[in-house]
Amino acid sequence: MSITALGSHRATGRTITEQFHAHNPHVYRALERMAARRLAAGATRVSLKDLFEDLSRQLPHGVAGLNNNYTALYARRLIDEHPH
């Protein structure tokens, strides 16, 4: 089974993460900034789980669906877009 098939939603043909990201693009941008800051500060490894937990505390409570179900999918996306 491909990664794309995981978490796909039959009604729209988009993954759950794609649907969430379409409504909340600021989440991914914030994770990118947070990871970049930690790397610039000298970190050699960054835990997306840790970033995600920090972000969930910073964002308003109105961001529905921001939960641990997205951490692995956002980690894969960050690695794909920023392999360095």
pLDDT at 2: 41
C-alpha count within 13 angstroms, C-beta hemisphere, residue 29: 6
Long-range contacts of 5-9 (CB under 8 A, 24+ apart): 7/73
The DSSP call for residue 15 is B
* Sign of CA pseudo-dihedral 51, 13, 81, 32: negative
- Could you tell me the pTM of the whole model? 0.72
pLDDT at 3: 44
Q: What is the pLDDT of residues 6-62, one digit of tens each?
A: 444 455 667 777 777 787 788 888 899 999 999 999 999 999 889 988 888 887 776
